[in-house]
Amino acid sequence: MKLFFDSRQAAHAPAREFHNGGWTPYAETPDRTAQIVAAIGNVTAAQDHGLAPIAAVHDGQYLTFLQEAWAAWEAAGREGDAIGYTFPVVHRRRLDLTRIDARLGAFSMDASTPITADSWDAAYWGAQSALSAVDAVADGARTSFALCRPPGHHAGADYLGGYCFLNNAAIAARHAAARGLGPVAVLDVDYHHGNGTQDIFLRDDSVFFASIHADPRTDYPFYWGHADERGEGAGAGTTLNLPLPRGTDWAAYRPALDTALAAIAEWGAKMLVVSFGADTYIDDPISGFALQTADFTTMGRRIADAGLPCAIVMEGGYAVDALGVNVAAFLAGFTD
What phi and psi, each to the nearest 5 degrees, are found at residue 306? -65, -20
In this structure, are residues 208 and 235 in contact, taking their beta carbons and an 8 Å threshold? no
User: Residue ranges of the alpha helices (H) in the chain?
Assistant: 31-40, 52-55, 60-75, 100-106, 119-138, 168-178, 195-201, 250-267, 293-304, 320-335
d(CA 336, CA 334): 6
Instruction: Give Cα separations from 256 to 196, 202, 212, 243 (angstroms).
Output: 21, 21, 7, 9
3-state secondary structure 135-196: HHHHCCCCEEEECCCCCCCCCECCEEECCECCCHHHHHHHHHHHCCCCCEEEEECCCCCCHH
User: Omega before 285 cis (within 30°)?
Assistant: no
Q: CA 231, 236, 240 angle in degrees (round to 5)?
A: 50
CA distance 311 to 58: 20
Task: Read off the DSSP letter of residue 54.
Answer: H
Amino acid at 172: A
Q: Which of 153, 154, 175, 192 is catalytic?
A: 154
End-to-end CA distance of the chain: 12
Question: What's the gap between Cα 119 and its chain centre?
Answer: 15
Task: Judge whether 154 counts as a catalytic residue.
Answer: yes
Residues classed as catalytic: 154
